[in-house]
A and B are shown apart, each in its own frame.
Chain A
C-alpha cells in the first residue's frame, strides 16, 4: 500500500511540474543539437543532480540506499551480451524518442492535456507492452543465449 500511495503522490507532483515546465528527457538533447537551447537540457541535469544529492543525503540519514554507489550492475560473464543489448536498445529509445517528439513521460503529459496524437502514441505504447510480454521477452531469451 505504501508503494502505491508514494508513487501516486510522486507521479502527481512530477506530472504537474512536467506540464508546467515542459520537462522532457529526449527533447533536451534534441533542442541542444538543433538550436543550442539548453532550457530543457537543464531539466535532465537537475534530475541527475537531484537524484545524486538525494541518494547521498538519504544514505547518510539511514534510508534504504543499498550498494550506493553501485559502479557495475552487470555480471562479468554477461558483459558482452548485456552491453550489446544496451547499445541497440539505447539507440532505439533515442531515435524513436526524437521521431515521436519526446520521452514516454512527456507523451503521457501531452496526452493528459488532451492531444489526441499522443493518445494514439499511448495506444501503441500499451499494445506494444502486450506484444513485449507475448513475443519480445521470449525473443530476448533466444538472443541472450546466442550472444
Chain B
C-alpha cells in the first residue's frame, strides 16, 4: 500500500498532533511557555516578530522558545498540506468568495487569539497539561462556537423567510 492510499481519520491525526506536541516540548526544547508544541496563533507571531526583530530591530515580542531560532510550525503546516494536496490531486486554485469578510475574520482571529495567548489547539494542549485556565478558556471557546452557530442558523432562517415566494 502506497502513502497515497493511506486513509487518516481526524482522531488519528489529532492523536499524532497531541503526542508530537508533547514530544517537541520534552526533547526538542520547544519550551517555555508550557504546552507550546503546536499553536497556530503564537507560532506565526513568534516567526513574524522574530524576523521583524532581526531585520528591523523592532523589539516585538516572541516567546523564549524562539530566542535563538524561530519556531517554523506554520511553514511546516503549509508545506505539509501543500504536499498532501498535490499528491492526492486536490491542489486547485479556487476563486475567492467574500474576500473582505474573510479578511476581517482573519484580522479578528489573530487578535482574539493573541489576547488569550493560544489558538484552539493550544487550549486543548494546555488542558491536557492540567491547566485550569486552559480548561476555562476551552469552555469559553466552545460557548463562542455555540453562539456563532446559533447566529448562523438564525441568519440562514431569516434569509430563507425573506425570499419572495414564487
Contacts and interface: CB of A to CB of B under 8 A. Distances in A.
B76 to A, nearest CB: 2
Contacts of B1: none
A120 B109 CA distance: 13
Contacts of B146: 29, 33, 94
Interface in B131-149: 131-134, 136-149
Contacts, number: 463
B157 interface: no
A48 to B, nearest CB: 5
Interface size class of chain B, counting residues whose CB lies under 8 Å from the partner chain: 35 or more
Contacts of A124: 102-108
Contacts of A26: 120, 141, 145
B71 A4 contact: yes
Interface string B20-35: 1111111111110011
Q: Chain B interface mostly helix, strand, loop or mixed?
A: helix
A3 B140 contact: no
Nearest to A85: B115
Contact of B13 (A9, A17, A65, A90): A17
B90 A19 contact: yes
Q: Chain A interface mostly helix, strand, loop or mixed?
A: helix
Nearest to B115: A89
Interface of B: 6-31, 34-35, 37-38, 40-41, 43-45, 48-49, 52, 58, 60-61, 65-66, 68-85, 88, 90-116, 119-121, 123-134, 136-149, 151-153
Interface of A: 1-23, 25-26, 28-30, 33-34, 39-40, 42-55, 57-59, 61, 63-74, 82-83, 85-100, 103-105, 107-109, 111-129, 131-133, 136-137, 140
